[in-house]
């Protein structure tokens, strides 16, 4: 793509971008299995849950289901497949939201990257994660204190990639220039779709080197968060 204006504002995704969501997910599910008297959660079962979870979030990002249907429905489907009482799903999810924030693993030394950019560009969190989980993660990781602002879909009443989410973010950032604003995230369906539709610069964080499918506007692709420096 042709070089745009200098980036002055970064919108950071959190899960699987700044923070290792998979590590937090693993620790939360395994510990809660024991607390709820379900025994040990095997690696195979954890993989099945993770796939179900991704499926539900992607359905929400496509506008097919609500966030509440994601939060409880993923555990209902998972438990049904594992022979566990699905009535446990709401309580398990409530505990899961709190437990997610207990395991903090930064990806690519993200804390120091964000810290090094303070005062050079404006930085904001844009996340579809729950207020309960994300507030705790951002506090314990220290990332929240480095940001110029935090935008959580639950508080905005709309999720990425919806226009209503980005409209509220843009309205809250003053001054705002689309050509100088870049979203960095791992999700094609929420970050790249949302950022592309909103007309800002998109940067796909793709550490696994997956092939980019058609239908998404991806201005930049990086495999390590340190590559963000080259885009500023």
Sketch the domain layout of the chain as residue ranges: 9-19+105-231, 21-100
d(CA 110, CA 115): 8
21-100 carries CATH number 1.10.150: yes
- What per-residue confidence (pLDDT) applies to 4? 55
Note the pLDDT of residue 1.
Answer: 45
Tell me what pLDDT residue 5 has. 74
Q: Do domains 9-19+105-231 and 21-100 have the same CATH topology?
A: no
Give residue-wise pLDDT tens across range 220-231. Answer: 999 999 999 999
Record the pTM.
0.90
Confidence of residue 218 (pLDDT cuts 50, 70, 90): very high
Closest CA to 15 of 129, 146, 171, 169: 129
Quote the pLDDT of residue 31: 96
Structure confidence at residue 63 (pLDDT): 87
- Given a cut of 60, is residue 2 above it in pLDDT? no
Report strand pairing: 181-185 vs 9-12.
Answer: parallel
**What pLDDT is attached to residue 61?**
87
pLDDT at 213 over 90: no
Q: Indicate left, alpha or beta for 51 from its phi (over 0: left) and psi (-120 to 50: alpha).
A: alpha
Mean per-residue pLDDT, 113-127: 98
93-116 pLDDT, tens digit per residue, is 999 999 998 999 999 999 999 999
CATH homologous superfamily for 9-19+105-231? Answer: HAD superfamily/HAD-like (3.40.50.1000)
């Amino acid at each position: 793509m042709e070089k745009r204006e200098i980036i002055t504002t970064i919108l950071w995704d959190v899960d699987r971008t700044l923070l290792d969501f998979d590590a937090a997910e693993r620790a939360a599910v395994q510990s809660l299995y024991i607390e709820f008297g379900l025994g040990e959660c095997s690696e195979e079962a954890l993989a099945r849950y993770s796939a179900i979870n991704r499926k539900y979030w992607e359905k929400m990002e496509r506008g097919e289901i609500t966030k509440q249907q994601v939060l409880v429905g993923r555990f209902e489907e998972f438990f049904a497949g594992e022979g566990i009482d699905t009535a446990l799903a709401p309580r398990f999810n409530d505990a899961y939201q709190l437990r997610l924030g207990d395991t903090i693993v930064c990806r690519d030394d993200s804390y120091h990257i964000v810290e090094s950019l303070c005062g050079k560009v404006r930085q904001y969190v844009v996340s579809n994660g729950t207020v309960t989980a994300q507030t705790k993660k951002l506090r314990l990781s220290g990332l929240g204190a480095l940001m110029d602002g935090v935008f959580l879909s639950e508080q905005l009443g709309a999720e990425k990639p919806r226009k209503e989410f980005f409209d509220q973010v843009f309205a809250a950032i003053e001054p705002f220039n689309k050509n100088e604003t870049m979203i960095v995230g791992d999700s094609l369906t929420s970050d790249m779709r949302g950022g592309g539709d909103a007309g800002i610069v998109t940067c796909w964080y793709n550490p696994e080197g997956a092939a980019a499918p058609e239908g998404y506007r991806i201005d930049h692709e990086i495999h390590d968060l340190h590559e963000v420096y080259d885009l500023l």
